[in-house]
Amino acid sequence: MSKAVAVLALGVWSVCGSLSIDAKSAKPQAQQAASIHYDEAHRVFRIDAGKITYAFGVNGDGALQTLYWGSRLAQDDPVGPAVPPKSWSSFDSIGANTPQEYAGWGGPITVMPDLKLHFADGNRDLILRYDSYKIDKDGLHISLRDAKANVTVGLRYTVDGDTGIVGRSARIENHATQALTIDSAAAASWNLPPATDYSLRYLTGTWASEWHVRTRQVTPGATVLESRRGSTGDENNPWFAIERGGAWNESHGRVWFGALAWSGSWSIRIDQDVLNQVRVTGGYNPFDFSYRLKPGEALDTPVFYAGYTDAGIGEASRLMHQFETTRVLPQAPRPKLRPVLYNSWEATEFKVNEPEQERLAEKAAKLGVERFVIDDGWFGARNSDHAGLGDWTVNREKFPNGLKPLIDKVHGLGMSFGIWVEPEMVNPDSDLYRKHPDWVLNFEGRQRTEGRNQLVLNLARDDVRDYVFDALDQLLSKNDIQFLKWDYNRNWTEPGWPQLSPEEQQKVYVVYVQHLYDILRRLRERHPGVEIESCSGGGARVDLGIMGLTDEVWPSDNTDPSDRLSIQDGFSYAYAPAVMMSWVTGSPNWVNERQSSLDFRFLSSMQGGLGIGAKILEWTSAEDATAQHYIAAYKDIRATVQQGRLYRLLSPQERAPYSATESVAADGAQAVLFAFLRQGQEAQAYPTLYLQGLDPNARYRYRSIHGEAMPGTPAVASGAYWMSHGIDLKLRSDLDAAGLVFERVGS
């Protein structure tokens, strides 16, 4: 039997031999982080990576059929060959329900296709059949073809040897002599083993209330998670997890999970078909979608990443976190730690000016802040959200000498300098709009709906893309700036592009986002020292696409430290604490008038990248001292919190009274425990917390940042003790919190 084998070592694929080496000569599985095999005899492709095996084959019809996705199999375990499910009746003929890797809509197919298109001559039938494959340093490439229609689909599989996360995307090419129009295009379908006891976990929310975790049974029919808003949105996030059995345990259970790397309208659809087969199809949102391909043209889909674990949803999240920090972020595999930042928004809103920002900077530096960020209000005629967006020149009434004096001051205080921008938007009351009213998304002659008094620039236009790039490039070239907070505060409405023919206009859904990515990529190249935060009125643009081009994200405008516990918990299902910024702001909080101690606010914010957004000029010397204590303590633990392994010990979802997390450093030498009590429960004790992920044989000494363990708790004990006996904390009153650090002692 001949096989093609490629092996991934240290992130680089090396293809062994001539793509046709004997199976016996392949390295033993244990030594391979990842490998891709093609078994020619059975026409089976097999990916082994991390703790997973993923396999699919070419069936008798020539369709590419999923065979297995789960825990890693032994190298000589048989997988395949691929045989399509039997015909159940004349309503479901052979091929109608085949769990295809990438199905075109055509022939007998009744399930949701990955690709649907039509030609100018009226043909809408597309039958994609296996054509060829290639394995190279980027992974596995498969070519599917409809020979009659002259359309090819190139499937690409990338593999992460550490986490077992596979990335899949498709390139659709028109080789015909007539144009075709794509009606819907997914990146991939992920097929799960047939079963009737799956349940789905997903994320939903709205402004200032993002990241709620919801669970629902997977039943016959479809569940659609989506954004039709033009951007990622916070109504749903493009992430899913599906568990077998419905028990949803943090450390047990089979979980399939994934996320789409796309920052425009998207859809992830979970179908259970008539044969109880479950598939997850994700890509461009088919709603209002249309993309015309002239002969010779191609469309690339986003990448849909997915993984598997049999160690519960907690491990699924940790695999995502590891994948994001080591593979996705621009600075991967070793992203810089997030500095402690100060942001002016909640303190001064639009009323920014040089003297007050300088005073804020002086105070921030005294507290231990490392980055000072001036938020909205510094440019154009921006005195409220009614004017100025689009005019990226310094407001000389607020900063008579430009930004230089403030930037020099901030640098002199030993901090880096950051600034807010919202480059994709324009206020009708701006010089830019007065000059270029045709630059916004609109349908000719129709109303232009405003959101926060602003319109969306059509970034898909080359001239708009160039304007935005140049404005930001100038800003960064003329000023010594280290950080951009990139905001985006509304949805699309009336998404027309009147300058194009009606058949071409809907490609705005694709080209807009491609141009956004292009701007970010070029800015990073031109200004490699500049870091970027993705903010969208909070967390409405967090996804693996934008994450590949930004360094951190703003999960929510809701800075109430108690609400924030649920927000951060939900965020952590899909995304890493390494990118999750969190500010300490004022009490009572603007969202809900809730009052909380500075201790509670700091401990809540220390679960991610710590920031301060409070009116610090009004802080007393006691409050300054408290802040100094926490900021210094945070610097000692931030590597563990941001880039360690996160364990969710007590869930704050559904307004639960408790919340506790533990982060363990990559080398196991430190663990950080945060515990919160939102509401005292009569005189009841706080639940015992069992630590996880420690070395059972090592000894750990604990110390407190804030809060106490119950009397009798040993100062030093084994990892086994902390994990099995656990720790009891003295938390009794409303909005109480504790932060403890466990350090490994001795060898």
Residues that bind ligand DGJ (CB under 6 A): 345, 375-376, 420, 487, 489, 535, 537-538, 554, 557
Q: How far is the CB of 156 from ligand DGJ (least distance, A)?
A: 35
CB closer to ligand DGJ, 554 vs 647: 554
- The set of residues, in sequence order, having a beta carbon less than 8 Å from that of 150 and lying 6+ positions away, is 174, 175, 176, 177
Q: How far is the CB of 229 from ligand DGJ (least distance, A)?
A: 16
Cis status, amide bond into 588, omega within 30 of 0: yes
Q: If DSSP codes are grouped into helix, strand and coil, which group holds residue 364?
A: helix
CB closer to ligand DGJ, 237 vs 325: 237
**Euclidean distance between CA atoms 358 and 363, whole angstroms:** 9
Tokens representing 329?
A: 């972020």
Minimal CB distance to ligand DGJ: which residue? 376
Q: How far is the CB of 613 from ligand DGJ (least distance, A)?
A: 8
Residue linked to tokens 């990842």: 34
- The set of residues, in sequence order, having a beta carbon less than 8 Å from that of 334 and lying 6+ positions away, is none
Q: How far is the CB of 468 from ligand DGJ (least distance, A)?
A: 18
**Euclidean distance between CA atoms 187 and 171, whole angstroms:** 9
- For 86, other C-beta atoms within 10 Å of its C-beta total 9
Tokens representing 710?
A: 């119950």
**Euclidean distance between CA atoms 272 and 540, whole angstroms:** 29
Residue 249, amino acid: N
Cis status, amide bond into 81, omega within 30 of 0: yes
CB closer to ligand DGJ, 102 vs 488: 488
CB closer to ligand DGJ, 61 vs 375: 375
Altogether, the residues listed in the chain come to a count of: 747
The secondary structure element, H or E, covering residue 476 is: helix 462-478
CB closer to ligand DGJ, 187 vs 403: 403
CB closer to ligand DGJ, 289 vs 420: 420
| Terminal Cα distance for the chain, rounded | 50
Q: How far is the CB of 140 from ligand DGJ (least distance, A)?
A: 40
**Euclidean distance between CA atoms 92 and 109, whole angstroms:** 9
CB closer to ligand DGJ, 490 vs 648: 490
Q: If DSSP codes are grouped into helix, strand and coil, which group holds residue 399?
A: coil
CB closer to ligand DGJ, 376 vs 662: 376
Q: How far is the CB of 735 from ligand DGJ (least distance, A)?
A: 23
Residue closest to 409 by CA, chosen among 344, 368, 355, 367: 355
Residue 200's DSSP bridge partners are 216, 242
**Euclidean distance between CA atoms 193 and 463, whole angstroms:** 49
Cβ(258)–Cβ(191) below 8 Å: no
**Euclidean distance between CA atoms 186 and 302, whole angstroms:** 8
Q: How far is the CB of 556 from ligand DGJ (least distance, A)?
A: 8
Phi-psi region of 56 (alpha: psi -120 to 50; beta: other; left: phi over 0): beta
How many angstroms from the chain centroid is the CA of residue 713?
39
How many angstroms from the chain centroid is the CA of residue 523?
21
Q: How far is the CB of 540 from ligand DGJ (least distance, A)?
A: 9
Strands 115-119 and 129-136: unpaired
Cβ(385)–Cβ(455) below 8 Å: no
Q: How far is the CB of 414 from ligand DGJ (least distance, A)?
A: 24
Q: How far is the CB of 596 from ligand DGJ (least distance, A)?
A: 19
Q: How far is the CB of 81 from ligand DGJ (least distance, A)?
A: 53
For the annotated catalytic residues, the residue numbers are 487, 557
CB closer to ligand DGJ, 271 vs 376: 376
Q: If DSSP codes are grouped into helix, strand and coil, which group holds residue 507?
A: helix
Q: How far is the CB of 376 from ligand DGJ (least distance, A)?
A: 4
E-strand ranges in 416-566 read: 416-421, 425-426, 455-456, 483-486, 531-534, 552-553
Tokens representing 640?
A: 């563990």
**Euclidean distance between CA atoms 706 and 418, whole angstroms:** 31
CB closer to ligand DGJ, 303 vs 535: 535
Q: If DSSP codes are grouped into helix, strand and coil, which group holds residue 467?
A: helix
Q: What phi and psi, each to the nearest 5 degrees, are found at residue 629?
A: -60, -50
Q: If DSSP codes are grouped into helix, strand and coil, which group holds residue 695?
A: coil
Q: How far is the CB of 426 from ligand DGJ (least distance, A)?
A: 14
CB closer to ligand DGJ, 63 vs 340: 340
How many angstroms from the chain centroid is the CA of residue 453?
28
Q: What is the DSSP letter of 41?
A: T
**Euclidean distance between CA atoms 561 and 583, whole angstroms:** 9
Q: What is the DSSP letter of 325?
A: I
E-strand ranges in 109-254 read: 115-119, 129-136, 139-146, 151-159, 166-174, 180-192, 198-206, 209-217, 221-227, 239-244
CB closer to ligand DGJ, 346 vs 370: 346
Please, what is the Cα angle at 237 between 231 and 240, to 5 degrees?
140
- For 253, other C-beta atoms within 10 Å of its C-beta total 20
CB closer to ligand DGJ, 467 vs 554: 554
